[in-house]
Amino acid sequence: MAFTFTSLTDLERADFDSIVDVRSPSEYAEDHVPGAISLPVLSDSERAEVGTIYTRVSPFKARKIGAALVAKNAAQHLQGPLADKLGSWRPLVYCWRGGQRSGSFAAILAQIGWRVEVLEGGYQSYRRRVVDALYERAVTSKVVLLDGNTGSGKTDVLQRLAARGVQVLDLEGLAKHRGSVLGGFGEQPSQKAFETGLYQAIEALDPTLPVVVEAESSRIGALNVTPKLFEAMRAAPRIVISAPVSARAAFLARTYGDGSVDRVEFVDRLGRLVDLRGAAQVEAWKAGVMAGEFEAVAASLIELHYDPRYAKVRERIGAEAVTSFSADTLDEAGLETLADQVAAAVKALPEADPTSL
């Protein structure tokens, strides 16, 4: 039986016990339907082998070899991850187009007696929903930007807003990147996986309420903010938070110097600033990092690199704040106070008119 959907809400209401992605591991790793588990019926090498035989030998031989491989791998799943599934288990299965891989696996599951359904159009149908939502449709929620220079605690304040009943869209969290040239520690998701996370987050928003988004450029590390969202961000009112350089430097020192960031990797990323700030200055920053002088390095980066660049960007785009708040410190108390102030300002904004969406 084929299953179709128009939104993630349809998937939730269908209440499948499991969503099973039978594509190869690399396809799953690049992106997958939210909540799906990976039970590949062809490995990456097996998929390549069958594809080569299909194009260079014959479709018949490819299908015969593919069927044998699918049966072998399905048996391993049945004896492994699916061994404890009860007769009432109800899975949704999909592959790339909803064709032979998912159909073959679903047929085996159905013969056992499970109430299996196949996603109509496979992953491609899901991906079309994502592209339509992010590239074709305007953002319906009223976007409000949380702005502030590097080290002002924007991300921490954003996270605190959710606990105060304010809708937020954490782009840096979705992108696994802190936004600046020094912000990417660890592996970012693929562009498609980032967009899946973004799609999920936007689908969950109440369009009648504002949503706060941290001010970002059109790129977060290696990932692109989708055009419709970036258009909404460019036109959005800005709430700016600020703090003295000393407080921001102390905050950055806690963020980057807490042991969670490798010093060698930090130093390597500083090398990207040579063309902008000169080799001598960058070497001084590197030496400071290796000596553990994070706060001094942070203060210097703020004054010589980040603040001048942010000032030029704001001047170029004509960014204006609707309101601003400052804190003397960015410790727990200072961040809580900023979050209270920003939350109150957001809630005081007029609600979006659903009839105009």
CA distances from 20 to 3, 23, 84, 150 (A): 13, 9, 16, 42
The pTM score is 0.90
User: Annotated catalytic, 308?
Assistant: no
Catalytic residue among 95, 139, 236, 339: 95
Residue with tokens 């600020």, as numbered in its chain: 242
Residue 90 to residues 28, 32, 114, 203, 241, Cα–Cα distance (Å): 21, 19, 6, 25, 49
**37-41 contact pairs (CB < 8 A, 24+):** 37/81, 39/77, 39/81, 39/82, 39/105, 40/73, 41/69, 41/70, 41/73, 41/74, 41/95, 41/101, 41/104, 41/105
Instruction: Pick the closest to residue 171 from 124, 219, 139, 125 (CA basis).
Output: 219
Domains, in order of start, for the chain: 2-132 (3.40.250.10), 140-356 (3.40.50)
Give the integer Cα–Cα distance in Å for 196 and 9: 14
Candidates 318, 309, 322; CA nearest to 350 is: 322
Each residue's pLDDT expressed in tens, for the chain with a length of 357 residues: 799 998 899 999 999 999 999 999 999 999 999 999 999 999 999 999 999 999 999 999 999 999 999 999 999 999 999 999 999 999 999 999 988 999 999 999 999 999 999 999 999 999 999 999 999 999 999 999 999 999 999 999 999 999 999 999 999 999 998 766 666 657 899 999 999 999 999 999 999 999 999 998 899 989 999 999 999 999 999 999 999 999 999 999 887 766 667 788 888 889 989 999 999 999 999 999 999 899 999 999 999 999 998 888 777 766 667 899 999 999 999 999 999 999 999 999 876 544 333
